[in-house]
Amino acid sequence: MALNNGISALGEVMQLAFVPDDFDAAVKHWTQTMGVGPFFLMEGIHLEGMKYKGEPTDAAFDLALAYWGDIQIELIRPRDSHPSIYSGEYGAVEGLHHVCILVDDIEAAYRTCAEQNAEIVIEGSLGDSRVIYVDPGQGPGSLVEILQQGEGGPGLFAMIKAAGAGWDGSEPLRKLG
């Protein structure tokens, strides 16, 4: 009998995210060794209304996105040491940092996380997208990002995925915005 509750009931994992000690080496590994790319780089991201464990934070980060088939790969480079999931107890590890699932209703996700005693460690928005990162109780490597995409999100992800189809290895890291 399948269990159909808990955080996994919110949706399927669509992303694997890493916070490597050496961002450039990670891009090289993923593009040259793994053949995943091109990565699209977004620099200086700061979530609007960003809170870490309920307290406002000015943390900023860069991220690069690419697709390996249907799975999105995210590489993250923290820009500062402000409290966030990229420093302190959730800091960079040379392994999986978090997974991401997409939802249509972030408020329902908040309720599900509360029911499962999953701690909200980061919350904020980027434009009309809203995001929470939750710790379901096992610390680093088990964080779950829950994203309700805004209007432009699906198109951006589709463009990045399409760029990887038949990618010839050229321009492995491309800047966005």
**Beta strands 13-18 and 96-102: pairing type?**
antiparallel
**What are the chain's domains?**
11-168 (3.10.180.10)
What 3 state SS string does the chain have? Answer: CCCCCCHHHHCCEEEEEECCCCHHHHHHHHHHHCCCCCEEEEEEECCEEEEECCEECCCCEEEEEEEECCEEEEEEEECCCCCCCCCHHHCCCCCEEEEEEECCCHHHHHHHHHHCCCEEEEEEEECCEEEEEEECCCCCCCEEEEEECCCCHHHHHHHHHHHHCCCCCCCCEEECC
Task: Quote the pLDDT of residue 1.
Answer: 41
Task: Quote the pLDDT of residue 140.
Answer: 56
Compute mean pLDDT per 10 residues along the chain, 177 residues long, and list them.
Answer: 73 95 95 97 96 95 97 96 88 85 96 94 95 84 90 94 95 92
Task: Quote the pLDDT of residue 3.
Answer: 53
Task: Quote the pLDDT of residue 162.
Answer: 97
Task: Quote the pLDDT of residue 114.
Answer: 94
- Quote the distance between the C-alpha of residue 151 and its chain's center: 18
Quote the pTM value: 0.93
